[in-house]
Amino acid sequence: MAKVGIVMGSDSDMPVMKKAAAILDELGISYEMRIISAHREPDVFFDYAKTAEEKGFRVIIAGAGMAAHLPGMCAAIFPLPVIGIPMHTTSLGGKDSLYSIVQMPTGIPVATVAINGGANAGLLAARILAASDPALLEKLKAYSASLKKQVEEKDARLQETGYQNY
């Protein structure tokens, strides 16, 4: 049973959304990924959001650009956490998406990551789930330790070779 729903309005969002899926794969978290347009197929969207809880989803990650209604509409229907990923747009650089997702009315919260922040959305979903899953919490601690090690290795290389040869 999938614990996380990943939904996007267009396949053009896939390069960002697959980063969230990759993090969930790395941590062994099950998910379902869908392309559903809240604007172009509202009946399909409403069915998705209304049945997400009974499908076992504990978090939804929703990516959207421009008017970016998908995360907020998920949060209006799905009673558990929703993480919005604002997509970079050519017209306004993603600020339109960011403002649309982050400026939710009182009572309809959406956790929002950076523009094109797919990996962080996956990590935030994992952290939400880890609050009640000690084994997942240990995987997240190991993931963080691996990030620290990567930085230490890069610094050691810099110290050894100097910036000119880095």
Q: Which regions in the chain score pLDDT beneath 50?
A: none
Q: Give the whole-angstrom CA distance, residue 86 versus residue 64.
A: 6
Domain boundaries, the chain: 4-132
Tell me what pLDDT residue 53 has. 97
Tell me what pLDDT residue 75 has. 98
Rounded to two decimals, the pTM is 0.94
CATH fold label, 4-132: Rossmann fold (3.40.50)
Tell me what pLDDT residue 40 has. 93
Tell me what pLDDT residue 76 has. 97
The b-or-e profile of 49-74 (16+ CB within 10 A means b, else e) is beebeeeebbbbbbbbbbebbbbbbb
pLDDT (tens digit per residue) in 61-103: 999 999 889 999 999 999 999 999 999 999 899 999 999 999 9
Greatest distance between any 2 Cα atoms in the chain? 60
Tell me what pLDDT residue 2 has. 79
Candidates 94, 42, 38; CA nearest to 66 is 94
